[in-house]
Amino acid sequence: MINRRASYFFSTLVLLFTSLLAQAQQQNTETGPVNEMLRSNGKIYVVVVVLVIIFIGIILYLIRLDRKITKLEHQQQSKS
């Protein structure tokens, strides 16, 4: 069951990052002063990396929380 859950998780991650990469390759015609500044200084990559790290952290936290809840449910069922 864990292998199935892990395979769903990783396939979802692959699809998500593939779609993000496809969108990143498109030309953006909207350029504002903030976008130009971030791109010229290379800081846009820092913003993207920070957002990805936060997203991965939230996903890992939810997986860990789900495992703990499942463990508590199994303990509760075995007591009754």
Instruction: Evaluate if residue 3 carries a pLDDT over 80.
Output: no
Alpha helix locations (H) across 1-80?
2-25, 33-41, 43-79
C-beta atoms surrounding 13 within 10 Å:
13
Model confidence pLDDT, tens digit, residues 30-79: 667 777 777 777 787 888 899 999 999 999 999 999 999 999 999 999 98
Q: Domain residue spans in the chain?
A: 38-80
Residue pair 23/16 in contact by the 8 Å Cβ criterion: no
